[in-house]
């Protein structure tokens, strides 16, 4: 199988798995206990906190372990909203956020907060001047993703961060898709909080972290035994933390090399498909995008059928087509780009990883070309386009 | 998520294409997700002697179109009108609940083609 769905999840790196293994059966201690088994767990946890911090240029005491991206986003957004609700009730986000942010904002709207959803525009990038215009005296939080999970576009986080700082507004970014793929430095990005998740960078599922800058206070949304500074109580997932730490360490060591390698595969696939397949387009900005993200649009065909055809050829991919979503609605990200619903139907997302091979490129391109042609022969829309 | 039968009809759809000078043409669109299906029939002595389809839609939409053409081929107009939305899904060994509307689409397209045929017949 050629796996081209790394933005959904990535395989666990065997080195990560190996690092985790001792922490299930042998070194199973509870990190809050006093005897040596527990102390060992505490020690290994703190070592791994350093590795996570080091990947994003943070201090270890600014890292809170969570169960993943969704939880980090919830803690950051609700925690800030509840903490600062007497100061103001306005939140700014974008219209291309992952549901972990989008749905959290919608929930807060129901609870009486006002939310502005900045429009990402045709190229999938939020405008800094729109953000500036949206700020009011009531604004307490800005939450805008670093890189989009569907179209891979990279947002001007450091500029937004500067503006947020000028206005003394808390700024959170969901960097689940960018951490480990492009350089991410919390100081350079001017962020107060940042979410990341292990399973997108060759670590295990169910573990992640929230960076919280020193001095930033959150209202806890979970209550319990006071772990992780009381922000995320619950017996620590030591094996998971080791997995996250190791994944961050490996990502840091190979960041530049992997970034260049994956970018070269990305660009070759994009170039070949756009030139070999009629009426094919790239969704999202062509260069301000993640090194591993490709999002095509093919006229007159539907994405779920395309994904099924590619699966039959041994290629795992995904689509933003309405037909493949549980609610039968096209991806809100593709609609945010201004695409018609019928065109959003024809989208195909390929997200690459470090284990993909250059030798696979021609097979991938040919498979896409064949599948698109097969489906167009079936499509009543295609002959209308041809005529 | 799809049965083997669905995947078979999706991967090797039967009766794909258009019929020139068709006796009846039915096109239906699905408002839920904006998909489109057209069925063409050729009728001789009240029997559907040829039927073809073109579909823009998901795996289920393609499989149900293929199945409905197979079910209707060689049937009399009256028999073909009795093919229901459920028949199509049942013949495919079931569809995921969210995809049931795609099977409705296929039966509706067949019925629309037959209505068109009857209308043309009345005009003659
Ligand atoms: C941008 C973004 N944010 C948040 C998440 C959720 O992360 P997790 O699956 O770790 O909860 C994802 C993953 O699907 C994502 O792509
Ligand atoms: S055609 Fe859209 S779900 Fe079947």
ipTM: 0.95
Q: What is the mean pLDDT of chain B?
A: 94
Band of residue A25 on the pLDDT scale cut at 50, 70, 90:
very high
> What phi and psi values does residue A43 have, to the nearest 5 degrees?
-65, -45
Provide CATH code, domain A255-382.
3.90.1150.10
Quick check: A5 pLDDT over 80? yes
Band of residue B124 on the pLDDT scale cut at 50, 70, 90:
confident
Testing the interface with B: which of A378, A379, A387 to mutate, by most B Cβ within 10 A?
A378
Question: What 8-state DSSP symbol labels residue A221?
Answer: S
Contact flag B62-A378 (C-beta cutoff 8 Å): yes
Mean pLDDT, rounded, for A224-252? 97
Please tell me the residue having the least CA distance from ligand 2 atom 2: A323
Give Cα separations from A210 to A213, A251, B78 (angstroms). Answer: 10, 18, 65
Pocket of ligand 1 (CB under 6 A): A 68-70, 98, 100, 145, 149, 174, 176-177, 197, 199, 208
Dump strand ranges (E) for chain A: 2-3, 63-66, 90-94, 114-118, 139-143, 170-174, 193-197, 208-212, 280-282, 293-298, 315-316, 347-351
The pLDDT value recorded for residue B90 is 94
* pTM recorded for the entire structure: 0.96
Provide CATH code, domain A14-251.
3.40.640.10
How does strand A315-316 pair with strand A2-3? parallel
Band of residue A383 on the pLDDT scale cut at 50, 70, 90:
confident
Please tell me the residue having the least CA distance from ligand 1 atom 7: A69
Q: Which tens digit of pLDDT belongs to each residue from A260-277?
A: 999 999 999 999 999 999
The pLDDT value recorded for residue B101 is 86
Quick check: A331 pLDDT over 80? yes
Query: Please, where in chain A does CATH 3.40.640.10 lie?
Result: 14-251
* Cα A325 to Cα A156: distance, rounded to the nearest angstrom: 29
Quick check: B30 pLDDT over 90? no
Cβ-Cβ contacts under 8 Å, B18 against chain A: 383
* Cα A136 to Cα A149: distance, rounded to the nearest angstrom: 29
The pLDDT value recorded for residue A386 is 60
Tokens representing residue A304 in the block: 């779920």
What residues contact A373, with CB distance under 8 A and at least 6 apart?
Answer: none
What residues contact A340, with CB distance under 8 A and at least 6 apart?
Answer: none
Q: Which tens digit of pLDDT belongs to each residue from B73-120?
A: 999 999 999 999 899 999 999 999 989 888 889 999 999 999 999 999
Query: Please, where in chain A does CATH 3.90.1150.10 lie?
Result: 255-382
Contact flag B56-A341 (C-beta cutoff 8 Å): no
3-state helix, strand, coil in chain A (%, to 5): 45, 15, 40
What residues contact A189, with CB distance under 8 A and at least 6 apart?
Answer: A146, A157, A158, A161, A173
* Cα A283 to Cα A235: distance, rounded to the nearest angstrom: 43
* A323 catalytic per annotation: yes
* Cα A329 to Cα A343: distance, rounded to the nearest angstrom: 13
Q: b/e per residue, A271-303, with b = 16+ CB within 10 A?
A: ebbeeebeebbebbbeeebbbbbbbbbbbbbbb
A1 CA distance to ligand 2 middle (Å): 26
């Amino acid at each position: 199988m050629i796996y081209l769905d790394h933005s959904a999840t990535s395989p666990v790196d065997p080195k990560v798995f190996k690092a985790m293994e001792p922490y299930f059966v042998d070194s199973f201690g509870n990190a809050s206990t006093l005897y040596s088994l527990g102390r060992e767990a505490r020690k290994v946890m703190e070592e791994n906190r350093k590795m996570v911090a080091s990947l994003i240029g943070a201090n270890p005491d600014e890292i809170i372990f969570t169960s993943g991206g969704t939880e980090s986003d919830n803690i950051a957004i609700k925690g800030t909203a509840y903490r600062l609700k007497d100061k103001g009730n306005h939140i700014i986000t974008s219209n291309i956020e992952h549901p972990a942010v989008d749905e959290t904002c919608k929930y807060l709207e129901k609870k009486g907060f006002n939310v502005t959803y900045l429009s990402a525009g045709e190229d999938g990038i939020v405008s800094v001047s729109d953000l500036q215009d949206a700020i009011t005296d009531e604004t307490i939080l800005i939450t805008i993703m670093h890189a989009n999970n569907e179209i891979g576009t990279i947002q001007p986080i450091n500029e937004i961060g500067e503006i947020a700082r000028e206005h003394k507004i808390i700024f959170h970014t969901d960097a689940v898709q960018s951490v480990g793929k492009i350089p991410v430095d919390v100081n350079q990005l001017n962020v107060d909080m940042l979410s990341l998740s292990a399973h997108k960078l060759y670590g295990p599922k169910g573990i992640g972290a929230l960076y919280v800058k020193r001095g930033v206070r959150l209202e806890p949304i979970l209550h319990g035994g006071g772990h992780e500074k009381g922000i995320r109580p619950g017996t620590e997932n030591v094996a998971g933390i080791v997995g996250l730490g190791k994944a961050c360490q490996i990502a840091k060591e190979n960041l530049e090399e992997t970034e260049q390698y994956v970018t070269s595969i990305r660009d070759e696939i994009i170039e070949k498909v756009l030139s070999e397949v009629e009426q094919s387009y790239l969704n999202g900005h062509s260069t301000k995008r993640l090194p591993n993200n490709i999002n095509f649009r093919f006229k007159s065909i539907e994405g779920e059928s395309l994904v099924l055809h590619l699966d039959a050829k041994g290629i795992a991919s995904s689509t933003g087509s309405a037909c493949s979503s549980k609610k039968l609605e096209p991806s809100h990200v593709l609609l945010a780009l201004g695409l018609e619903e019928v065109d959003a139907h024809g989208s195909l997302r390929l997200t690459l990883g470090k284990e993909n091979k250059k030798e696979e490129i021609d097979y991938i391109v040919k498979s896409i070309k064949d599948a698109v042609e097969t489906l167009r022969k079936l499509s009543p829309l295609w002959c209308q386009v041809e005529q | 998520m799809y049965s083997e039968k669905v995947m078979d009809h999706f991967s090797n759809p039967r009766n794909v294409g258009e019929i020139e000078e068709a006796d009846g043409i039915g096109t239906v669109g699905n408002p839920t997700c904006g998909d489109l299906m057209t069925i063409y029939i050729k009728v001789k002595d009240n029997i559907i002697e040829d039927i073809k389809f073109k579909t823009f839609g998901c795996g289920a939409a393609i499989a149900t179109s293929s199945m409905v053409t197979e079910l209707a081929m060689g049937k009399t107009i009256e028999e073909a009108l009795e093919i229901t939305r459920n028949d199509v899904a049942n013949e495919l060994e079931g569809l995921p609940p969210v995809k049931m509307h795609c099977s409705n689409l296929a039966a509706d397209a067949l019925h629309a083609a037959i209505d068109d045929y009857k209308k043309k017949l009345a005009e003659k």
